[in-house]
Amino acid sequence: MKLTEAQVRYVADLANLSLSEEEIGRMVHHLGGILEHMDQLAEIDTEGVAPMTQFLAEAEDTATLREDVERPCLSNEAALENAPVSGDGYFKVPRVIER
Amino acid sequence: MTPADQSISNIRAGLLKKEFSAVELTTEALAFAERENPKTNAYLRLSPERALETAARLDKLVASGETLGPLAGVPVAVKDVILTKGLRTTCGSKILENYTPPYDATAIQRIEAAGGIIIGKTNCDEFAMGSSNENSAYGVVRNPIAPDRVPGGSSGGSAAVVAQKTAVLSLGSDTGGSIRQPASFCGVVGVTPTYGRVSRYGLTAFASSLDHIGPFARSVQDAATLLEVMAGRDPMDSTSANVPVPNFAAKLDGDIRGLRIGVPVEYMKHATG
């Protein structure tokens, strides 16, 4: 698939990045190249190729779940210790949803 | 005695024979690391307080004749992307310049429970993104064997401290070669275990489904022991494998006849010498 400038602008906006015209041109080229590579990979005939295995391939669906038991966790105070700004038990960050 | 020049078994024997105490060994290891570090910049910071506290606890165990853990008294350095409670963890970045984790990674908990002594945090490419250790916000690491060359990366500091003998063991993390490659550059043993073998709880994520914590050591034996201590199911990491951990070190003397090793020849096409 061919990446468009509009798509790069849209993704940059979602990521809260401001790109110059020159950078947008570069991203169309670089990101587009990655997507084109994916298209090439998708063309490979994988019919009859056994899936690669990994350690949980043969495990039960619930193998990674644990018992739901009460246990101690980080205190609110400890969790906020590194926050430059906090208040009312929360991290305070600049508003990013509406700009 | 050059403390960090030892092996796991030498240190254990020395402690049991009371040739030295854990506090003495740790004190000397810290002093040696501080003196030698300017040559490589491999440590970002040492952790004398925590190290000496752990060592003092261990000496009490020795005095009361308790069974010692498999890493008793061994100085271990930790890549600065792995969280250490109360001990600054920067990921080689100015963004986290003042970050002090409120908890320990599972690997760290298990090392200390096994008697290991965390003596410092090592330099690395920023957020583990690099392959030369030239991309740390805190300066490059030099290869201890050839100071005009890179130690590899991103776990360059962890490979360097083991090669430089300012630690006996160290921890690195590997997403796309970050343990294997610097181990090779520095001439030490590095192991990237199977995904899920070592809990990633407390490892700063690079790419979660590809990240591994693994050991550096000067012998395969010591790397095997450290891996065994860290390995195994951890309820805090749902991708940690719920499979028994074998005694890796005990399997090192087995027969390798018939073993097949795969070499991707495409990578070797342009190799010379």
Q: What is the pLDDT along chain B (273 residues), one digit of tens a residue?
A: 566 679 999 999 999 999 999 999 999 999 999 999 999 999 999 999 999 999 999 999 999 999 999 999 999 999 999 999 999 999 999 999 999 999 999 999 999 999 999 999 999 999 999 999 999 999 999 999 999 999 999 999 999 999 999 999 999 999 999 999 999 999 999 999 999 999 999 999 999 999 999 999 999 999 999 999 999 999 899 889 888 899 999 989 888 899 998 888 888 877 665
Asked if B204 and B211 count as a contact pair (C-beta separation under 8 A), the reply is: no
- Closest listed residue to residue B211, CA positions, set B222, B221, B203: B203
- The DSSP H or E segment spanning B140 is none
pLDDT at B183: 98
Asked if B31 and B48 count as a contact pair (C-beta separation under 8 A), the reply is: no
Angstrom CA distances, B121 to A68, A87, B253, stand at 35, 31, 33
What number is the ipTM of this complex?
0.71
- The DSSP H or E segment spanning A22 is helix A21-42
Domain residue limits, chain A: 5-42
Tokens standing for residue B208: 């979660």
Q: Are B241 and A56 a contacting pair at CB < 8 A?
A: yes
Asked if A2 and A8 count as a contact pair (C-beta separation under 8 A), the reply is: no
pLDDT at A97: 73
The dotted CATH code for A5-42 is 1.10.20
Q: What is the mean pLDDT of chain A?
A: 88
Residues of A in contact with B235 (CB under 8 A): 66
Residues of B in contact with A65 (CB under 8 A): 238
B154 is catalytic: yes
Calpha distance B157→B218 (Å, rounded): 15
* Chain segment A18-28, per-residue pLDDT in tens: 999 999 999 99
Reported as a pLDDT band with limits 50, 70 and 90, residue A99 is low
Q: Are B102 and A65 a contacting pair at CB < 8 A?
A: no
pTM of the model: 0.88
Tokens standing for residue A87: 């208040």
Class of domain B3-268: alpha beta
* Burial tier of B73 (Cβ tally within 10 Å: 0-12, 13-18, 19+): buried
pLDDT at B80: 98
Tokens standing for residue B190: 């590095």
pLDDT at B42: 98
B184 is catalytic: no
Tell me the HSE value of A5 on the side-chain side, using a 13 A CA sphere: 8
Calpha distance A76→A56 (Å, rounded): 34
Residue A15 predicted with pLDDT over 60: yes
Mean local confidence (pLDDT), A46-70: 78
- Closest listed residue to residue B155, CA positions, set B137, B202, B136: B136
